[in-house]
Amino acid sequence: MDKILFVPNPLLRQKANKIKKVTNNEILIAKKMRDIMNKAPGVGLAANQIGILKEIVTVSFVDQNTKNQIEYSLFNPNIISYSKEKVVMEEGCLSLPNQFAEIERSEKITLEYLDEKNSLVKKQANGIEARILQHEIDHLSGKLFVDYLSSLKRNIIIKKVQKFLKNKK
């Protein structure tokens, strides 16, 4: 649980489990995830990326408008609506180091999640925040950003990751 798992680790393809109740244990996991994410550095992290199959996501990004650092954790996040407007942007992933691809996602989403006090939060997100949340929530169902690509492009990226990791040893 101290480091980020890389493709092709099978835990990255497993579905995370719903949390019955947010306890101190889940809050500690989220805190640890934020530390790992910030050291990486990254803008989002899903629990299965560190080998924990629980529906926990952490995000940390700079708000484009206010320039404030936004950082929070989500437990059992669920996207309840997607806007019809789509945006194509380059994405990367901490589990696929140094690999990037243009991915189309909804510009705006509405989601629900539990916060650290077990309160149900309903939130609208757009722009970079919506993209990060869609990417991380995909992780919880075992989906990676490369799954939006053709099998040829996906396989090329996965091979590059494996080569990168082999050379790192």
Question: Is the CB of residue 73 less than 8 Å from the CB of residue 33?
Answer: yes
Residue 136 falls in the annotated catalytic set: yes
Residue 36 contacts residue 72 (beta carbons within 8 Å): no
108-114/86-93 β-pairing: unpaired
Q: How far is the C-alpha of 49 from the C-alpha of 121, rounded, in Å?
A: 24
Find tokens 């995370």 and name the residue. Answer: 16
| Catalytic residue chosen out of the listed positions 26, 91, 129, 136 | 136
Distance of CA 3 to the CA centre of its chain: 15
- E strands of 24-162, at which residues? 44-46, 56-62, 69-82, 86-93, 96-106, 108-114, 120-126
Active-site positions read 136
